[in-house]
């Protein structure tokens, strides 16, 4: 019995060691790393090098892509040598690899997207937006008597962050017109009929203005706002489509932190006058001002989680490189050296070295796609790291636009978050989503 137990133990140990060696061997690891899905831009060749001692027969739709220059739908491949995939036209197909022409070995879903190149930004821009209604940013009490105070806005169940989109059936986004409507309703004794946007839903409510005996005026009991302004950084300009993307994050109301629903807006040239350096616990900022008599560069049509987007009517000046560059898919971004383009003085765009220290695996739009750290001594000396107003600064890696700066770490301003450029391009309406690409059968 002892001999049998000893043999079994030794056999078990040998078997475990064999399995470990097999799993950690290069061919097995390379097979595990072989992608199940692959996305490519038209005209941009993809090279796969897995060094697997395997000969296989491959097949795919030759109208969508070619492998190793073959124009046939079926071909032979030696995976011990690099595999070169040449996209031809947009569409979807499957690259199927079979051993001995029969045994299924690997199937890769291949998606080809129309080629896309954009001009990286980095310029500081001024942003003015007009809300798609009247924003509720606070409540106040109206003195209706010597010892009585009410807030009609609270009585109407309005909350901070609500957007009043119409009053008495008419769209309204000008606070200057509200006082007249309040006085008219107060004198007539008829409450105002409001349509209010809260989040993604709308509701109706009535608001009866109260007469303020101190100010001798009819009041709603609300603090309201209809616009916002500030500075940020242009991320990219797509000359073929005439659109731009900037900021890398949503514009929110400064009091309620509610995303602003944009009715209209514009971006203008801006000039950096000074820098308040970042330090631990206190993020710095770019101090900038709109360029006097500057031309409007474009409009603001959308305000999303990934920034602002719209049509650009005046090509931005002061570009570091006016030539379009390729863009990267989210899965192509790698940890390692990169650079950001931004302005720290005047209007001059400069490039600064950074390190991408972490990349999140995202298959659908989400913020905080990567963690970056500033490594450039010049930028650290001048700004202390990432400062407010730097959001939207383009991130480039290996000559491709990969993302944009979005946030700074308060306790470590040398580091911060970046978003993937893919999600910004989708919100700009110039990159196709996976379900928008036509499928092609093999």
* Domain CATH for 164: 2.30.42.10
Would 332 be classed as within a structural domain? Answer: yes
Structure confidence at residue 413 (pLDDT): 94
> Do 312 and 257 form a contact (C-beta atoms < 8 A)?
no
In a shared domain, residues 201 and 316? no
In a shared domain, residues 387 and 239? yes
Would 122 be classed as within a structural domain? Answer: yes
Q: How many CB atoms lie within 10 A of CB 63?
A: 14
In a shared domain, residues 423 and 324? yes
In a shared domain, residues 288 and 193? no
249 given a catalytic annotation: yes
In a shared domain, residues 338 and 238? yes
Residue 91's region, left for phi above 0, alpha for psi from -120 to 50, else beta, is left
From 197, 220, 243, the end of a domain falls on 220
In a shared domain, residues 332 and 285? yes
From 201, 220, 239, the end of a domain falls on 220
Structure confidence at residue 251 (pLDDT): 93
Q: Measure CA of the first residue to CA of the last residue in the chain; give whole Å.
A: 60
Structure confidence at residue 51 (pLDDT): 73
> Do 244 and 309 form a contact (C-beta atoms < 8 A)?
yes
| Catalytic residue, candidates 249, 270, 278, 407 | 249
In a shared domain, residues 269 and 353? yes
C-alpha 158/C-alpha 164 separation (Å) is 9
Would 136 be classed as within a structural domain? Answer: no
Q: How many CB atoms lie within 10 A of CB 413?
A: 23
In a shared domain, residues 204 and 105? no
For residue 355, what are the β-bridge partners? Answer: 337, 373
391 given a catalytic annotation: yes
Would 134 be classed as within a structural domain? Answer: no
In a shared domain, residues 303 and 412? yes
Would 72 be classed as within a structural domain? Answer: yes
Q: How many CB atoms lie within 10 A of CB 88?
A: 16
From 155, 190, 220, the end of a domain falls on 220
Structure confidence at residue 198 (pLDDT): 94
Would 109 be classed as within a structural domain? Answer: yes
| Catalytic residue, candidates 59, 391, 393, 415 | 391
Could you list the residue range(s) of the whole structural domain that residue 101 is in?
34-115
Structure confidence at residue 106 (pLDDT): 82
Eight-state DSSP code of residue 359? E
Which CATH number characterizes residue 329's domain?
A: 2.40.10.120
> Do 116 and 68 form a contact (C-beta atoms < 8 A)?
no
226 given a catalytic annotation: no
In a shared domain, residues 215 and 96? no
Q: How many domains does the chain have?
A: 4
pTM: 0.84
Tokens of 408: 């700074």
Would 440 be classed as within a structural domain? Answer: no
| Catalytic residue, candidates 376, 407, 415, 427 | 376
Would 15 be classed as within a structural domain? Answer: yes
Structure confidence at residue 292 (pLDDT): 72
In a shared domain, residues 387 and 408? yes
Q: How far is CA 299 from the centre of its chain?
A: 19
Identify the segments of the chain with pLDDT beneath 50.
16, 19-30, 437-442
In a shared domain, residues 166 and 276? no
Q: H-helix or E-strand containing 20?
A: helix 2-24
C-alpha 203/C-alpha 164 separation (Å) is 10
Which CATH number characterizes residue 58's domain?
A: 2.60.40.420
């Amino acid at each position: 019995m002892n001999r049998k137990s000893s043999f079994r133990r030794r056999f078990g140990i040998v078997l475990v060691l064999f399995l470990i060696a097999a799993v950690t061997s290069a061919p097995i690891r390379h097979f595990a790393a072989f992608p199940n899905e692959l996305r490519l831009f038209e005209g941009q060749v993809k090279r796969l090098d897995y060094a697997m001692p395997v000969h296989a027969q491959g097949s795919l739709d030759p109208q969508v892509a070619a492998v190793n220059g073959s124009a046939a739908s079926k071909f032979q491949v030696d995976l011990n040598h690099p595999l070169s995939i040449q996209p031809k036209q947009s569409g979807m197909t499957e690259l199927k690899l079979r051993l001995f022409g029969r045994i299924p070995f690997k199937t890769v879903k291949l998606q080809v997207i129309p080629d896309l190149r954009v001009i990286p930004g980095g310029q500081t821009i001024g942003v003015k937006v007009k809300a798609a209604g009247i924003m509720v940013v606070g409540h106040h009490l109206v003195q209706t008597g010597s010892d009585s105070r009410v807030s009609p806005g609270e009585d109407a169940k309005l909350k901070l962050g609500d957007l009043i989109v119409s009053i008495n059936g008419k769209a309204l986004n000008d606070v200057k017109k509200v006082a007249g409507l309040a006085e008219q309703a107060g004198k007539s004794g008829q409450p105002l009929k409001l349509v209010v946007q809260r989040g993604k839903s709308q509701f109706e409510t009535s608001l009866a203005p109260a007469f303020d005996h101190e100010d001798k005026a009819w009041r709603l009991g609300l603090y309201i706002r209809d616009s916002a302004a500030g500075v940020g950084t242009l991320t990219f300009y797509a000359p073929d489509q005439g659109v731009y993307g900037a900021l890398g994050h949503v514009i929110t109301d400064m009091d309620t932190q509610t995303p602003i629903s944009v009715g209209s807006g514009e971006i203008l040239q801006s000039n950096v006058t000074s820098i308040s350096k970042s330090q631990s616990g206190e993020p710095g900022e770019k101090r900038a001002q709109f360029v006097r008599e500057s031309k409007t560069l474009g409009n603001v049509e959308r305000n999303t989680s990934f920034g602002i987007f719209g049509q650009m009517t005046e090509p931005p000046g002061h570009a570091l490189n006016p030539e379009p560059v390729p863009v990267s898919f989210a899965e192509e971004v790698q940890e390692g050296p990169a650079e950001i383009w931004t302005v720290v003085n005047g209007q001059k765009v400069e490039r600064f070295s950074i390190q991408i220290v972490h990349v999140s695996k995202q298959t659908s739009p989400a913020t905080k796609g990567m963690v970056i750290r500033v490594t450039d001594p010049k930028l650290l000396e001048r700004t202390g790291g990432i400062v407010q107003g730097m959001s939207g600064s383009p991130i480039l890696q290996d000559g491709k636009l990969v993302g944009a700066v979005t946030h700074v770490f308060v306790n470590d301003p040398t580091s911060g978050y970046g978003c993937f450029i893919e999600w910004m391009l989708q919100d700009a309406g110039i990159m196709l989503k996976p379900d928008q690409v036509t499928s092609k059968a093999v």
